[in-house]
Amino acid sequence: MATNIRDVAKAAGVSVATVSKVLNGYTTVNQQTKERVLKVVKEKQFRPNAAARSLVGRRSMMIGVFLTTGLAHPFFTPILAGMEQSLKAKGYDLIYLAQFTWEKEYSFVRHCQSRNVEGVVVFGFQHSDMNFTELSEAGIPTLFIDLDVDAPRTGAISSNNTEAVQHAVQYLKEINHEQIAFLSGYEDTYVSRCRLAGYEAGMRLAGLAIPIDYVVASDFTKQGGYTAMRELLAHPSRPTAVICSSDMGAIGAITAIREAGLAVPEDISVIGFDDIELASHVHPPLTTIRQNTDEMGRKAVELLDQLINNIETASVQAIIPTELVIRASSAQRG
Amino acid sequence: MATNIRDVAKAAGVSVATVSKVLNGYTTVNQQTKERVLKVVKEKQFRPNAAARSLVGRRSMMIGVFLTTGLAHPFFTPILAGMEQSLKAKGYDLIYLAQFTWEKEYSFVRHCQSRNVEGVVVFGFQHSDMNFTELSEAGIPTLFIDLDVDAPRTGAISSNNTEAVQHAVQYLKEINHEQIAFLSGYEDTYVSRCRLAGYEAGMRLAGLAIPIDYVVASDFTKQGGYTAMRELLAHPSRPTAVICSSDMGAIGAITAIREAGLAVPEDISVIGFDDIELASHVHPPLTTIRQNTDEMGRKAVELLDQLINNIETASVQAIIPTELVIRASSAQRG
DNA sequence: TTGAAAGCGCTAACAC
DNA sequence: GTGTTAGCGCTTTCAA
C-alpha cells in the first residue's frame, strides 16, 4: 500500500492538518515544522492521492481533451504535443475522455463532471449536431481550437487564417499569377470561412477578378482535393495557381493536375495549408502556410488555465501567426 | 451543483446503498426498485463521481499512457487512435501523465499511484536510464509496446518484426536482388534487434552472403537514414537493395541515393518499415512493411484489461502480423 | 502555530 | 431486499 498523509504525519510527529498545510503552501506553518514534514515527504516519496484531493472539492488537476476528428489527425496531434510543455509547467495531466460522445444520454458534460475535469480543450470542426456550448453552460471552462463558439467563460485559439491566405494571394501575384483559384474546406467550418474571406480580400487587394466557379467547395481530405481540382481543371479559363485549405487537399489537387497531363508548378502552382509533416516530403515539396502548432498547443493550456483560475475572466482568445513556407509546388509564372 | 447519489436515492425513495447496488450491477435488488432507480438516474443524467469511486478503493477506470518519444510520434499516434475503440468498449478513459518523468524523485510510479491509474501503456524505445520494471514491481499492470521488458504481471505487444524483414528479403530475392543491405534502427532497441535478426535469417535462407559493413547502424530518423545510406553508397560492392528499419529512415536513404546521382528503384530498391501516412505520398511511393497500428492499439487495451482483471494472469503478449506493401520504391532487377 | 474533527461522494459490510 | 453506517485520503474550518 502506498503511503498516505497519516503515515507522513506520524513520521514527522505532526498532525495530518499540518502536513496538508505544508503541501498546499500555507504560510502559517513554522519553518522548522515545515522542513521536517518536507523531509519525510521526500523520504517516503509521498504524493497525495489525487482522487481524495479532487473529492474534497479542490482541484483535480486534469484537463480533458476532445477531438471531433479522432486522435490521429495529422494537424491536431502536433497541437496536442505542443500542449505537453505547458501542461507540465502548470501541473496538469491530460485526460482523453474516450467515453465522450455527443449523444444526449450519457452526455459528455456529465462525463466531465463525473471526472471533475477542470477544463476542456475541444479540437474540431463545426458540426451542427454538436452542441459545443453545453460545456461552458455547465460551468466548465472550455477552450476551442479552430472553432468559433459564442459562449461565456470560453477561450478560442486559431491561426490568423484570413491574413494568411490573403498573404498567399499576394505572394502569387508577386510571382506573376493572376488566375488564382481557391479550394475551400468544409463550408460550415470556421477556418474555412476565414480562409475563403482571406482569398477574397487578397484578390480584391491585388486587383484581380474572381471568375465564377473559381472557388470550389471541398473538404480537408486528399480525395476531396482531387475531386475539386478536377472540376477546376475543366474550367474554361484554367487557373495558373490554386490555394488549398489544407495540405491533404493540395496533395489531392496535385494528383489531379498530374493526371490531366499537366505539371506542378510549371503549369499550375499549388499552395497548401497547415504544413503537416507530409508537406515537405511529397513531390514536389509543398509551398504551404505553416500553422504554429506548438505555439497553439502551449497557448491553449495557458489560456485554459487562466479561465480556470480567474473566475472573473469572461472570455479569452488568441490568434497565432502563420508563416508562408515556400517550397517547390509554386513558381514564377512566365 | 451536480446531482449526487443521495439526490438520486431521495428521488427514488430508496437508500444510497440501493442506488449504489443498482449502479454496480448487484443482483440482489428487486426488479421494480431497480427500474425505479434507473429511471431517476436517467432523468437526472446521474453519473457517479469518479474520484469518490476511485477513493473508496474500487476502480478508477483510468489507463495511463506514457510515450518515451513524446505525443506526436508518427508511428505511435495511430496506435493511440487504435486504442480508442476498445477503451470505449471497456469503459476506460485515457490519462496522459504529463507530469510523468523518469527521475527518481517524484517518480512516475508515485504519480500513477496518486492518480489511481489501473494500468499503464508504455510506448517506446529502450533506454538504459528508464527503469521500466518499476511500474510492475509496484503492482501496476503494465503493457509495453515495442519493448521487451521481463517482469511479472506485464504485457507486451509488437509486430512480427523478425518474420516481416525475413519476408522482405525473400521478396527482394524473388525480384532478383542479391546485394541486399540493411539499415538498422537504434541498436539497443528491441524492435531493431528483431528486425536485424530477420534480415540475417532472411539472407541465410535465401542463400545470400552478407558482406562486411552491409549492416549499418542508424536510428529511426530521416537524417539517420541519410547518413547511413551515404556510408553504404561508399561500399566497394554497392547494394542493389536496402531494407530500412523505418519509413523515415527510408526517406532519408532515398535522399542520399538521389544526391549520389542514382535513381530509386532503377539503381537501388528501398524498403521501409511502418507504413506511416507519409509512405504512400513520398516520391516514389514507398514499398514498406505495414504495421497494423489499429490492431496493436485495440489489442493493447484488451490485454491490459485482462491483466487488470485477472490477478492470476502472470504475463501476456501478442505479436501482430505485418503486411508487405509493394509500391514503387522497389523493382525487379535486370 | 498546531490539531481535532467534519465532510467531499461513494462502496461494502453488516444488520434488519 | 433494503437500509445504516464506517471509512477511503484528503482539505479546511474552528478551537486551543
Say which CATH number the domain at A51 has.
Answer: 1.10.260
Does B286 map to a domain? yes
Q: How far apart are CA A333 and CA A129, in angstroms?
A: 45
- Whether A150 and A181 map to the same domain: the answer is no
Residue B135 to residues B61, B141, B221, Cα–Cα distance (Å): 18, 7, 29
In a domain, B332, yes or no: no
Q: Please indicate, yes or no, if residue B330 is contained in any of the structural domains.
A: no
Whichever domain contains B172, its CATH number is 3.40.50.2300
Q: Is the dihedral of CA A20, A22, A28, A29 positive or negative?
A: positive
Residue A49 structural domain: 5-55
Helix (H/G/I), strand (E/B), else coil: A247: helix
Rounded Cα–Cα distance for residues A75 and A57 (Å): 36
Which parts of chain B fold into alpha helices (H)? 5-12, 16-23, 31-44, 50-55, 76-90, 108-114, 133-137, 161-174, 190-205, 222-233, 247-259, 293-309
Return the closest-CA partner of residue A271 out of A197, A191, A188, A170. Answer: A170
A vs B, Cβ pairs < 8 A, gives: 133
Calpha distance A315→B225 (Å, rounded) = 47
| B30 shares its domain with B144 | no
- Residue A53 to residues A88, B124, B250: CA-CA distances in angstroms? 19, 31, 49
pLDDT at site A141 = 94
pLDDT in tens, A234-249: 999 999 999 999 999 9
pTM for the complete prediction? 0.92
Buried b (16+ CB within 10 A) or exposed e, A83-96: bbebbeebebbbbb
Same domain, yes or no, for B151 and B38?
no
Which strands make up the sheet holding B287-290, listed edge to edge? Answer: B215-216, B180-183, B241-244, B269-274, B287-290, B323-325
A186 lies in the same domain as A283: yes
**Residue B103: CA atoms inside 13 Å, Cβ hemisphere, count?**
6
> Do B303 and B218 belong together in one domain?
no
Record: contact B281-A278, CB cut-off 8 A: yes
> What's the rounded mean pLDDT across residues A37-63?
93
The residue count of chain B comes to 334
- Contact present, B116 and B50 (Cβ < 8 Å): no
Q: Which of A128, A124, A162, A165 is nearest to A143 (CA)?
A: A124
Query: By percentage, how much of chain A surpasses pLDDT 90?
Result: 77
**Above 60 in pLDDT, residue A113?**
yes
SS3 A274: strand
- Predicted confidence band of residue A129 (pLDDT cuts 50, 70, 90): low
Answer for A81: CB within 7 Å of strand C: no
The answer to whether strand C lies under 7 Å from the CB of residue B20 is yes
Q: How many other C-beta atoms are found inside a 10 Å radius of the C-beta of residue B43?
A: 12
Q: Do B71 and A84 touch (CB under 8 A)?
A: yes
Nearest to B240 by CA among B165, B176, B327: B176
Q: Is residue B328 part of a domain?
A: no
Query: What is the Cα–Cα distance from B74 to B87, expressed in whole angstroms?
Result: 21
What's the rounded Cα separation, in Å, for the pair B234 and B260? Answer: 10
Which nt has its C1' nearest the CA of A46? Answer: D9
Do residues B32 and B148 share a domain? Answer: no
What distance in Å separates the CA atoms of residue B116 and residue B50, rounded to the nearest whole number?
A: 11
Domain co-membership, B154 together with B297? yes
pLDDT at A130: 72
Q: What local confidence, expressed as pLDDT, does residue B322 receive? A: 98
Average per-residue pLDDT in chain A? 92
Residue A301 shares a structural domain with residue A179:
no
Chain B partners within 8 Å of A113 (Cβ): 2, 47
**Distance of alpha carbon B302 from alpha carbon B247, whole angstroms:** 28
Enclosing H/E stretch for A44 = helix A31-44
Contact, A281 vs A251, CB < 8 A? Answer: no
Return positions of chain C under 7 A from a protein CB. 1-5, 7-13
Which of A129-143, A266-280, B147-161, B307-321 has the highest mean predicted lDDT (pLDDT)? Answer: A266-280
Number of domains in chain A: 3
| CA neighbor of A118 nearest in space, from A182, A166, A53 | A53
Chain B positions in Cβ-Cβ contact with residue A2 (cut-off 8 Å): 110, 113-114
Q: Which nucleotide is nearest to A17 (CA to C1')?
A: C3
Top mean pLDDT of A96-105, A186-195, A257-266 is at A257-266
Residue A239 lies in a domain: yes
H helix runs in A91-221, sequence order: 108-114, 133-137, 161-174, 190-205
Contact B159, B288 (CB under 8 A): no
Residue B298's nearest CA partner among B87, B140, B147 is B87
* pLDDT at res. A128: 66
Determine the Cα–Cα distance for residues B231 and B307; give it in Å rounded to an integer: 45
Give yes or no for a contact between B81 and B294, defined as CB atoms under 8 angstroms apart: yes
CB A240 within 8 A of CB A180: yes
Which of B281, B286, B298 best probes binding to A when mutated, by most A CB atoms within 10 angstroms? B281
Residues of B in contact with A252 (CB under 8 A): none
What is d(CA B276, CA A292) in angstroms, rounded to the nearest whole number?
A: 22
**pLDDT score recorded for residue A37:** 96
Q: Tell me the average pLDDT across A1-9.
A: 89
Residues B154 and B168 in one domain: no
Which residues are registered as beta bridge partners of A119?
Answer: A63
Query: For position B101, what pLDDT does the model report?
Result: 62
Residues B79/B296, Cβ–Cβ less than 8 Å: yes
Please check whether residue A67 lies inside any domain of the structure. yes
The enclosing H or E element of A93 equals strand A93-96
**Cβ atoms < 10 Å from Cβ of A189:** 22
pLDDT at A104: 54
Q: Are B224 and B205 in the same domain?
A: yes
pLDDT tens by residue, B143-156: 999 998 888 889 99
Q: Which residues of B touch A55 (CB under 8 A)?
A: 49, 51-52, 55
CB < 7 A contacts with chain D (nucleic strand): A 1, 4-6, 16-17, 19-21, 23-24, 46, 48-49, 52-53, 55-56, 58; B 13-18, 21, 28-30, 32-34, 52, 55-57
- Which parts of chain B sit beneath pLDDT 70? 1, 100-106, 127-129
Verify that A181 and A223 share a domain, yes or no.
Answer: yes
C-alpha cell at B182: 540493411
Asked if residue A127 belongs to a domain, the reply is yes
Separation of CA A301 and C1' C6 in angstroms?
A: 35
Given a cut of 90, whether residue A68 has pLDDT beyond it is: no
The enclosing H or E element of A244 equals strand A241-244
> Are residue A237 and residue A173 in the same domain, yes or no?
yes
User: Which one of A53, A61, A71 would you mutate to disrupt binding with B, by most B Cβ within 10 Å of its Cβ?
Assistant: A71
Within-domain flag for B153: yes
